[in-house]
């Protein structure tokens, strides 16, 4: 049975002093996750110049879920917005995200500390 996708949003300050919006996902990410993920991203409304996506509590991502993440990153790119980073991926999903080219749109970090230091 699929675990419901949840997204929480918080703000942190990078070592550079800039504000960073963190979208933390939990549950499974699939086609049913589209509205909650894109809705939460769109609520940022350009308010943060840097965004981190936290996958620490994500149990499963299928190809439809990956397509949603790509859609979000492409929307951000078209808007000329956001420096994106992703952290908390399992080694398997780090490999998958690299294979499908997500790392061309967002830097992949092992954890939040490394991501925040890089921003």
Residue-wise pLDDT for 67-93, tens only, equals 999 999 998 877 666 688 999 999 999
Tens of pLDDT, residues 19-44? 899 999 999 999 999 999 999 999 98
Poorest-pLDDT segment among 23-27, 44-48, 62-66: 44-48
Q: Which residues face 83 on adjacent strands?
A: 50
70 contact partners, CB below 8 Å, separation of at least 6: 100, 102, 105
Specify the pLDDT at position 45. 72
Cα(30)–Cα(2) distance, integer angstroms: 9
User: Which pLDDT belongs to residue 26?
Assistant: 97
Domains and CATH numbers, the chain: 6-104 (3.30.750.24)
DSSP state of 80: T
């Amino acid at each position: 049975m699929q675990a419901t996708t949840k997204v929480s949003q918080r703000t942190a300050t990078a070592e550079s002093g800039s504000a960073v919006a963190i979208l933390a996902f939990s549950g499974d990410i699939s086609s049913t996750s589209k509205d909650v993920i894109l809705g939460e991203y769109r609520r940022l409304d350009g308010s943060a110049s840097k965004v981190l996506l936290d996958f620490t509590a994500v149990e499963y991502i299928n190809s439809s879920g990956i397509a949603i993440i790509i859609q979000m990153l492409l929307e951000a790119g078209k808007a000329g917005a956001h420096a994106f980073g992703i952290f908390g991926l399992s080694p398997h999903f780090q490999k998958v995200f690299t294979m499908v080219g997500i790392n061309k749109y967002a830097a992949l970090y092992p954890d939040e500390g490394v991501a925040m230091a890089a921003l």
